[in-house]
Structure 1
């Protein structure tokens, strides 16, 4: 028997388990990451340069202040409920079937208050609304 010198085998590195672990980590981070989509919308409200309307019809003015309180023809409505607002509008309209309804709201008025006023007028059959605006300042 002849003695053969010890042949060194080259080490064999198996990369399969390492690749599996990397893919599992990648999947874990993809699933656990939240993607927040924060956007800001800059809205500039338009200014209106219209003319004052003359009307023969009875005028019902619905005003809403910055806190969302309603005023019908400059008289404060007891609360902000839809039925109470409808009663105040109907009382102000009187016998007029289609009065001119003017809606004027403060620029800080909650959007829900404006929608509530529009809905109350619509439920009473007053579908033609006029929105009050201010004239733009000179030089702007």
Structure 2
């Protein structure tokens, strides 16, 4: 009895489905990507190792102090509540339409980051351009 030999088919890997899947994933990630526009506030940070510069009279600058519990004080006057609207009203009351005066933020080391960011956000919304963060000289 003579059996016919089976022919061996050439083994080949078809890459077409793999390429299709890769292109579909690429298209999916391109479509689902979100592009956000972030508004940036330019800040001039003072050097902590330099000598403190002289600040003009109290009416020539806005000094916002952030306490440890997030309470605000504008030019030495504590605010009733610690929200952005109250802070904005207090700053507008002191400055009126003047926006070219220095805006100085002094925050306690234990103050929450959110409280400081709220002050920076209010300064940006009102259009202040001379924003500074007060530091103290490091002990050497």
Would you call these one fold, judging by a TM-score over 0.5? yes
1:50 to 2:50 alignment: yes
Instruction: Say which structure, 1 or 2, has more relative contact order (CA 8 Å, 6+ apart).
Output: 2
How many aligned residue pairs are there? 92
CA root-mean-square deviation: 1.9
User: Scaled by the length of structure 2, what TM-score is found?
Assistant: 0.59
Q: What secondary structure does 2:105 align onto?
A: strand
Unpaired segments ≥5 residues, structure 1 = 1-46
**Per-residue displacement from partner, 1:34-70 (whole Å, max 9, x unpaired)?**
xxxxxxxxxxxxx811233346681100000111100
Structure number with greater Rg is 1
Measure, in 2, the Cα distance between the counterparts of 1:103 and 1:68: 13
Bigger Cα displacement from structure 2, 110-119 vs 48-57:
48-57
| 1:58 and 1:93 in contact (8 A); partners too | no
Measure, in 1, the Cα distance between the counterparts of 2:115 and 2:63: 15
| 1:58 and 1:96 in contact (8 A); partners too | no
Match of 1:64 among 46, 59, 66: 66
Measure, in 1, the Cα distance between the counterparts of 2:69 and 2:124: 23
| 1:63 and 1:105 in contact (8 A); partners too | yes
Unpaired segments ≥5 residues, structure 2 = 1-46
Measure, in 2, the Cα distance between the counterparts of 1:112 and 1:55: 26
Measure, in 1, the Cα distance between the counterparts of 2:106 and 2:72: 10
